[in-house]
Each structure stands twice: as C-alpha cells, then as structure tokens.
Amino acid sequence: MDEQDRSFERAVALLELGRFREAIPVFEQLVAEDPLDTEAWCYLSVALFEAGLATRAVDAAEQAVGTDPNDSWPHLLRGRALATVGRIHDAVGALRRAVRLEPDSLRALADLAWFAARAGRRDEALAAGEEAVRVAPDAGEAWFAKSWAAQALGDWA
C-alpha cells in the first residue's frame, strides 16, 4: 500500500468518525495529486457537505461528475448539495441523471422523490417514490420517500 492509499484510508476513517473538517484537507491533497480520482472528489464533496460547506460540496461534486459522468454517485452528491444551496430544480436534474445511470439505486430514487416534491413536480415525485418501493420493498427509506412525496404534494391516494 502506497502513501496515497494510506491517506485515502485515513480520510475515509475520519469521515466515518464524523471528523469532517479534518478529512477535508486530506481529500483536497488527494485530488490535487490526482485530479481524475472520481472517488476522492466524491468523498471530498461528502466531507464538505457534512461540514456545512454546501457550496464547496457542489463544486467538488461537479469535479467528480467531470471525471466520470457515467458514475451515478457524483450526480447524487451534486443533487443533494444543489438542493441545500437552494438550486432545487438543478438538484432534480442531477438526481434524474443519477437514476438514469443506476435505476435501482434506492438513494437516488428516494432523493429524487423528495426533491421533485419540493420542486412541485408531482408526477415525477410520485413515480420516483413508487419506484423506490418497487426496488426495495423491505426498506423503510423507500416507503418514507413514497409517503413523503405524497404528503408534500397533498396526494394520499
């Protein structure tokens, strides 16, 4: 295992411990050393987001999307961060892309249901909630996404 791998493992461990601000400079160094490392950009986005630095989290997620536009995780992270900075319609677009890339992703479907509802996109929110339940019928998150979308839109049918 080389030094970069050790740094990566240390930064992930810091994230797992909830020490987000300590993980940020480690991930920043990793992406400086390898700007094409999609996973490091994603983890940097997570660390920034969890540290309350949503605008910077958007930037890191966008870098991750640029390094691998066919990976759903960067789009999911970008969607969450965009919603946090008030760009809800852009967030829905990012989450749509995440779902297209990984149609069985409960995380992406649940977030799409949640944020499409917040954006007033009734049919899309309800469809994403329904699909989340189809994909993971035993997962509470799926049922929460479906019910939250229905409640937010005033549709309990």
Structure-block tokens of residue 15: 């994230």
CB neighbour list of residue 59: distance below 8 Å, 6 or more residues apart: none
Please state the pTM of the whole predicted model: 0.91
Give me the pLDDT at residue 155, please: 59
H/E run at residue 137: none
CB neighbour list of residue 6: distance below 8 Å, 6 or more residues apart: none
d(CA 74, CA 62): 7
pLDDT in tens, 106-154: 999 999 999 999 999 989 999 999 999 999 999 999 998 888 888 876 7
d(CA 127, CA 37): 34
pLDDT in tens, 60-85: 999 999 999 999 999 999 999 999 99
Please provide residue 72's backbone torsions phi and psi, each rounded to the nearest 5 degrees: -75, -30
